[in-house]
Structure 1
Amino acid sequence: MKFVPTAVSGAFVVEVDARSDERGLFARTFDAKSFADHGLVPVYLQCNVSQNHKRGTLRGMHYQADPRPEIKLVRATRGRVFDVALDLRRDSPTYLNWASVELDAARHNAFYIPAGCAHGFLTLEDDCELFYQMSEVYVPELARGVRWDDPAFAIAWPFTPSVISERDAALENYSQEPAP
C-alpha cells in the first residue's frame, strides 16, 4: 500500500498494489501494521455502506463532534465518486482547507480522513456504493454538518449536485465561533 499525503494535514489517499494474472486481481486493501507505521489509526469500531442510485448525488459535509470525533477510511466498492475532506480542526496547519480524491471501485483506492474533518462526496456516475470504516460508533447527538457549497471553503465540486437530502440542503454555513 502507498499512503499519499493531501492538502489536509493527516488525510491520505491510500493506493493499493494490485496484482493481476489470468485468474483476475488480488490487492491488500487494509493492513493494521502499515497504518500504524504511518501514524494512522489501525482499529475501526464500526463499518457503514452508502448506496447511491443517481449520478449527481451529494452527501455531506458531515462530521462527529468531540468528545467522540470519527476517523474515516472510505472507499468506493461500486462506481466513482468525488470525495472531499474538509479540515475543521482549529489547531491544524490546514484549518479550513479541503482535499479531494476520485474514489474508483476499479482502482480500489481509499481516503483516510482524520478526526475533526468534515466529509462529503458527489457521485460521478449512477449506481455508486461506498464502504466506510469508522474509528468511533455513531453518536446521534454529536452528529454535525456544514454546507457543501459554503463560500468560506470554496470547494471545487466537479458539477452542481442534482440529488441532495433535505437535511444536507438545510445545513448552515460554517461559523468560526466555538460551538456551544
Structure 2
Amino acid sequence: MQIDPTALPEVLILTPRRFGDARGWFMETYNATRMAEAGIDIAWVQDNQSFSAAKGTLRGLHYQRPPHAQDKLVRCSRGAILDVAVDFRAGSPRFGKWVGVELSAENGRQLLVPKGFLHGFVTLTDDTEVQYKCSDVYAPDCDGAVRWDDPQIGVDWGIAAPVLSDKDRNAPLLAEAPRPFTWEGGK
C-alpha cells in the first residue's frame, strides 16, 4: 500500500496495490498489520456505504464530536467523488483549511480523515457508491455539520447547485459552529 501526505499532514491518501490478470483484478483495501506497521493503528468499529443516484450530490461537511468522534477511511467503489477534509481543530495553524482528493473505482485511492476534521464529498458521476470505515459508532446526539459553501473555508466543489439534504443546506457557518476539537500540537 502506498501512503501519501496531503497539504493537511494528518489527512492521508492510501493507494492499495492492485493485482490483475485476464479475469480482472484483486485489491486488499485494508490490512490491520500493514497499517500498524505504517503508523496507522486505528480500531475500526463500523462500516458505512452510501449510494448517490445523481452526479452533483453533495454530502457534508460533517463531523461527530466527542465522546463519539470518528476517524474515517473513505473509498469510492463505484463512480467517482471529490472527497474533502477540513481542519476543524480550534487553535490549529490550519484551522478552516481544506484538501480535496478525487477517489474513484478506477483509481482505488482511499482518504484517511482523522478525528477533528470535517468531511464531505460531491459525486462526479451518476450512480456513485462510497464506502467508509469509522473508528466509532454513529451517535445522533454527537452529529454535527458546517455549511458546504462557507466562504471562510472556500471549498472549490466544482459545482454551483448541488443536490443537498436539508441538514446540509441548513448547517451553520464555520464562525457559528461549536468548537468540539482542539489542536494538540504536533503535525
If the length of structure 1 is used for normalisation, what is the TM-score? 0.93
State the partner residue of 1:34. 34
Q: Deviations over 1:135-156 (max 9, x none)?
A: 0001111101000110111111
**How many residues end up aligned between the 2 structures?**
180
Cα distance in 2 for residues equivalent to 1:99 and 1:59: 16
Q: Is the 8 A contact 1:81 1:103 kept in 2?
A: yes
RMSD: 1.7
Cα distance in 1 for residues equivalent to 2:88 and 2:106: 31
Cα distance in 1 for residues equivalent to 2:157 and 2:30: 28
Equivalent position amino acid for 1:39 in 2? G
Matched, 1:17 2:17: yes
State the partner residue of 1:80. 80
Cα distance in 2 for residues equivalent to 1:4 and 1:172: 32
Q: Is the 8 A contact 1:9 1:92 kept in 2?
A: no
Runs of 5+ in structure 1 lacking a partner? none
Q: Deviations over 1:89-135 (max 9, x none)?
A: 12434222111111101222111000011100000010001001000
Q: CA deviation at 1:67?
A: 2.1
Worse-matched range after superposition: 22-31 or 139-148: 22-31
